[in-house]
Amino acid sequence: MKVGSNLVDLEICSAISARLKRCGMPQDRIENAFSAAHLHGTGFFEEAVHQPGVTERMVYEAIADYLQLPYTEEILPSRIFVSGDENICFAHIRQVMVIGRDGISYLYIAPGERRIARLREHLKAAPQLRERIRICTPSVLKSILRQRHQRDLVMRAHAMTPQLFSAARVLDTPQAFVIAMAVYAFLGCIVNWPMKTMLALHVAMSLFFFGCVLIRLFAAASGRRLQFTEIAPFKPRDLPVYSILVPLYREKDVVVQLIAALNRLNWPRSKLDIKLVCEKDDYETIAAIRCNTMPSNFELVLVPPGGPRTKPKALNYALQFARGEIVAVFDAEDRPHPDQLLEAWQAFRQGGSKLACVQAPLIIGNFRRNLLTRMFAFEYAVLFRGLLPWLARRGLVIPLGGTSNHFRRSCLEQVGGWDAYNVTEDADLGMRLARFGYRIDVISRGTIEDAPEEHGVWHRQRTRWIKGWMQTWLVHGRQPMSTWRELGWWRFVVSQIYTLGIIGSALLHPLMLLMLAGLCLRMAFGPLTPQGLWLLALDVINILMAYMSFHMLGAKTMEPTELGGYAYFLAIPIYWVLISLSAWRAVWQLVRQPHLWEKTPHQPNLFYIPLEDASSEFDARNAAPRPIMD
């Protein structure tokens, strides 16, 4: 009999399925497992463990009974026989050698369908082998190997990124020298030629920020609301194994919502490998996960201490156990569109081997809460529905969002995974992929998440983001000529305008407003010189164009339900001043605590709270922009 792409011995499958039936597995679920194996191109055992009420232990106890071998789950990690190969593929390990207390080596094996027939023949030829072979589950093998190699796994997690591309060092010596010389030169010019220096600085800042405005204006010219890409017909057997990594830290409140959201994804359960990644000492989140019955394709991965406690380190650690050819990252509060994985996979099929990543748009679900959440949602629309699609269409460098990234795994591993020391690992990885010659694209099916509702939470999150952008600019500025050659002059220039624009505008926007106010005061008490009039006109045009381009791009890409006639334009100056306060705090942290990761707390969205526990206003206050997600 042929199941999927594997030739399976009919006698073996019949015998083991009969044993499963005796253990309580209903006949219809046995038939469902065979049908799913044929449909998905997998194996009977792979599908059986994902049937309701069937556990991995049940399946492997049936295999042990068929082979007349002992089943065990007790293996001491200290007794695993280590071959010296430190490149073990932990995601696919199926056997280990263990030294028993009697000094004899034992083979612990979790055989797949192909190996059962061979193992049976070996046992017939050499019955004495039964004394030295034990059957166990793949989960047991992976668990003990993680314990055995824990130190090496943690070391890999925070050293995966090559040193040249790591933010472990904030500045290297040449950079520190250049920055020091620039500061001394500026101070010298201020002392000797104060007026000319300030005039030159004023004009240079204005022209640079006008370049940032032009990027937004060009993006606004072609901006539009999200339109779903059609998903072409496909065969389920063609779908690859897809891994999803969800880093969690102090997220006990959103565990139920997260599991429900990921369960809605349209992908065969046997090919969907979901890792919930927790710090080993985050007892509350771990307890919340274990209190909920996780689907069979979910796995809890505990990250041991060691190195920086950051999201990218946790992702690198979990990546070593992921089975998928494609790897996606979601945050704890995310509610991705059910077809997002299908669209991402289709993009990879059509995009060629150089397409390393696709970014899904992030959509704010609690945008109606207050002014802060509305402006956050507006800003996300500008970025994910306006600016990133424009950059992608032109093959420019794309700064990734921190969630809903889908990676071709081979490309991700080639560039060194996530930088454990960069607190905005997404932006850094986008630049690194571009430097390695890979492309990034965007897809249309989004992920709903929530904006911070309190200024203190928002302030800390924005501090971390801007600090990470500074780290990213410094890392990729260590060898600027190499970056220039790898990106090409046009992509290099645009990426510098964009990156420095984010940092510079955040830091200097209040200064621009003060300069404008100073010129206006001078004009109020007397006529301005021609030079002063030119500067006043330049400042007014620059600031108004900055506000207008930002507003145009957001207004063209947001849904009518999000806009709702709200006066976003009037709130932009206030919002940008708040960003500036966070930016200066980021500078301070870059010097004092460069790798500090300030956690953003999340609360469950009210759509996932039972009606009797929710406010009567939950629909009006938390309604997601429906046209995007339907």
Answer yes or no: is pLDDT of 569 > 50. yes
Query: In this predicted model, what pLDDT tens digit does every residue of 275-308 receive, in sequence order?
Result: 999 999 999 999 999 998 889 999 999 999 988 8
pLDDT digits (tens, 9 = 90+) for 530-562: 777 888 888 888 899 999 999 999 999 999 888
- Which amino acid appears at position 442 of this protein? V
Q: Which residues pair with 276 in a beta bridge?
A: 246, 300
More confident position, 159 or 12: 159
Of the listed ranges 79-93, 271-285, 434-448, the least confidently predicted one is: 79-93
What residue segments make up the domains of the chain, in order of their start? 172-244+333-484+492-630
Q: Are 570 and 544 in contact (CB under 8 A)?
A: no
**pLDDT attached to residue 73:** 82
* Residue 232 DSSP one-character state: P
What integer pLDDT is reported at residue 391 of this predicted model?
97
pLDDT in tens, 299-344: 999 999 988 889 999 999 999 999 999 999 999 999 999 999 999 9
Q: What is the pLDDT of residues 226-262, one digit of tens each?
A: 999 999 999 999 999 999 999 999 999 999 999 999 9
Instruction: Provide the b/e sequence for 348-378 (b: ≥16 CB within 10 Å).
Output: beebeeebbbbbbbbbbbbbbbeebbbbbbb
DSSP 30-61: HHHHHHHHHHHT--HHHHHTTSTT--HHHHHH
Beta pairing class for 242-248 and 272-279: parallel
- In this structure, of 191-205, 212-226, 272-286, 447-461, the range with the lowest mean pLDDT score is 191-205
Q: What predicted TM-score, i.e. pTM, was given to this entire model?
A: 0.91
| Confidence bin at 84 (pLDDT 50/70/90) | very low
CA 150, CA 465: separation in Å to the nearest integer? 30
Give tens-digit pLDDT for 167-182.
998 888 888 888 889 8
Q: Which pLDDT does position 81 carry in this prediction?
A: 66
